Amino acid sequence: MTLTPRLTVSLCAALSLCALLAVPTNLPALGGDARLTLAVFALATCAWIGTPIDDTYIALGAGLALTVTGVISSDTLFGTLGDPTVWLLICAFVLAAAVARTGLAGRAAAFLVSGARTVRQLVHLTTAALVVTAFAVPATSGRAALTLPVFLALARALAGRKRLVVALALLFPTVILLSAVATLIGAGAHLITVSVLWEATGERIGFTEWLLLGLPLAVASSHLAAEAVLLTTTRRADRTGAVRITPRDIQRHSDRPVTGPWAEEEKRCALLLATVVVLWCSEPLHRVPPAVVALIGAVVAACPALGTVRLKDALKTVPWSLLLFMAATMAMGVALSGSGAAAWLVSGLPAGVSPAVFLTVVVAVSTAAHLVLQSRSARSSVLVPLVIAAAAGAGVNPAAAALASTAAAGFCHTLPASAKPVALFSDLPGTPTYTPRDLLRLSVVLAPLTAALVWLFAVAVWPLLGVPVTR
């Protein structure tokens, strides 16, 4: 068997943990459940890093091992599938299927980009449109699939301006990944973070709270990334050149209407989506849980008389593998926190570290974690329990640390395989797109910028919004 870099890293991590478990140290005593949890946790992490085995299969195997050994109960393992955040994601995918069926995304994109007169305006209007899609489509892979036809239409309308097309190809996945932090349903990793935080501290971050904290960061990081994309992929002459795209240009390359009067189903779908988003954002006023609001929206979206999609067809779009992965990793997070394994792992960290330094380390590690763990959800399931345990010992607010880690882990642009949206837009036959070298050039600029922005929000902005740095 050939030792790849990933496999080498995973083996080193496993051997290091085994040494810690076997050799006497000055660390606190470790109970039996904690030892079993750490062993399962290490094996799962190494399998995620160094093997081609499906991530969901590994997570389910780890959850089963923890249940069979008695670390967690079967109710804990299976109960994670009934978590309200899982139901929120399921219903959000049903709503997204209704939106995709009507073609609202293409109509909205045509409306926005038709107002651009310069390249910079086009890039930032496209960025704004991509940020808005975080409210309509859950998970980054779903948003990438929904917006791909829009990009292809723009690319054909801009035929002959190769560098600008490449910039747009890079802009779409970059903004999709960074703007996911805007909403709780933006990525499965967010739901894992919320669940682990609740189990470890009893603190629940709802849809509205996440929106208040995440949307400003999403807007700032997305438009910052837009400037970075322009800087690294275009020349000055490209950026200063005029551009003119009309809805008719997009219509010629789209299989759905983007101009003209709205169809009845488009009006109903737009009204339903707007109502659901408003109810999500106004949860503190009416006290209806976001998952219940999403379920009502999904039922209406699939209603034979009022809806725009059949429930059977909508449910086919739900990524059940992702939901099973989330459920299993939530159970792993519960085991790490409940058994004391997470606290033991971080008990040897230096004491007396200032909150600013602590958050700097958290953000830096989380930003770089995509080089080892490709799955965003896997990164959260590994990092968040440890970050929460370490935050408690350092006197840092666990919620602030968990949010900073999850937001920083949204950066995963270095390689085409680092994230599904990046891989999707990197291979488009017949359309100019970016190369691995373009990604590396962007990452060199964007990684420190986004990490610094997350750190700034954690220490200066989020405290003003109700999440202090210290407890």
113-147: per-residue pLDDT in tens? Answer: 776 778 888 888 889 888 988 887 777 887 887 77
Residue 470 — φ and ψ, nearest 5°?
Answer: -110, 160
Instruction: Assign 242 to helix, strand or coil.
Output: strand
Torsion sign across C-alpha atoms 287, 190, 184, 402:
positive
Identify the pLDDT of residue 309: 85
Residue 352 has pLDDT above 80, yes or no: no
Nearest 10 degrees: Cα torsion 413, 417, 418, 424: 60
Identify the pLDDT of residue 27: 46
Nearest 10 degrees: Cα torsion 134, 136, 142, 148: -90
Instruction: Assign 425 to helix, strand or coil.
Output: helix
Residue 43 has pLDDT above 50, yes or no: yes
Q: First vs last Cα of the chain: how many Å apart?
A: 49
Confidence bin at 98 (pLDDT 50/70/90): confident
Query: Any residues with CB less than 8 A from the CB of 100 and at least 6 apart, and which?
Result: 137, 146, 317
Q: How far apart are CA 265 and CA 101, in angstroms?
A: 9
**Could you report the per-residue pLDDT of 378-418, keeping only the tens digit for each?**
888 888 888 888 887 778 899 999 999 999 988 888 877 77
The model's pTM is 0.82
Q: How much of the chain exceeds pLDDT 70, in percent?
A: 87
Residue 452 has pLDDT above 90, yes or no: yes
* Amino acid in position 82: G
Residue 432 has pLDDT above 60, yes or no: yes
Q: How far apart are CA 64 and CA 429, in angstroms?
A: 42
DSSP conformational letter for 467: -
